[in-house]
Amino acid sequence: MIQNERDLRHEHVLHVARQMMTAARTAPKGKGVDILEIALVTDNDLVELSDEMRRIAAQSGMKFFLRDADNILQAECLLLIGTREQPQGLNCGHCGYPTCAARPQGVPCALNTADVGIAVGSACATAADFRVDTRVMFSAGLAAQQLDYLPACRIVLAIPLSASSKNPFFDRKPKEEKKI
């Protein structure tokens, strides 16, 4: 039997994405409390996510959303890592407020934010181990929040994955407005 890498690439990247999900899940958490949500986005949901990113760009004027919207369409899949809001009750003040009770609704607990960052780092390290290209995207994470891909998550980051001859997430050009 002869198997061409091009024929196997998509399944390989999906396998790596699942390994990344495990790496994110097993990453250290503040106080050992696991409030992460992790999901894999593929196929038509990638297109829907890209469309939402375009909508956000039109509404906000942030052009990098347009560049990133095109960019995720070059990915085999995309990983979402988010956290539900749950203050950890340490009254540490790291969020900028002296106690958890003094923290206004909507201000994220610093430990929740750190948990997402640690999980993203662990996931990206796993991708690097398998030589799969990634990029962490705030923009796609925000669009995923708008679409409620990870219900109840207040902080979401996205990681598109690719295994092509040229990393599509590197040397990216800013989107230019079309002149009429």
Show the tokens assigned to 169. 């997430």
Residue 176 resides in a domain: no
Residue 119 resides in a domain: yes
Neighbours of 99 (CB within 10 A): 13
Residue 49 resides in a domain: yes
Cα distance between residue 86 and residue 65, in whole Å: 29
Q: What is the CATH number of the domain that holds 80?
A: 3.40.109.10
Calculate what percentage of the chain has a pLDDT beyond 90.
Answer: 81
How many folded domains does the chain comprise?
1
Residue 19 resides in a domain: no
What is the reported pLDDT for 174? 65
pLDDT band at 121 (very low <50, low <70, confident <90, very high): very high
Residue 10 resides in a domain: no
Neighbours of 28 (CB within 10 A): 10
Which distant-in-sequence residues (6+ apart) come within 8 Å of 159 by Cβ? 20, 78, 79, 80, 81, 120, 123, 124, 127, 134, 135, 136, 137
Structural domain span for residue 57: 28-162
Using CA atoms of 134, 114, 110, 154 in order, give the dihedral in degrees to the nearest 10: 40
Residue 169 resides in a domain: no
The per-residue pLDDT of the chain, averaged, comes to: 93
Give the residue-averaged pLDDT of 119-143: 97
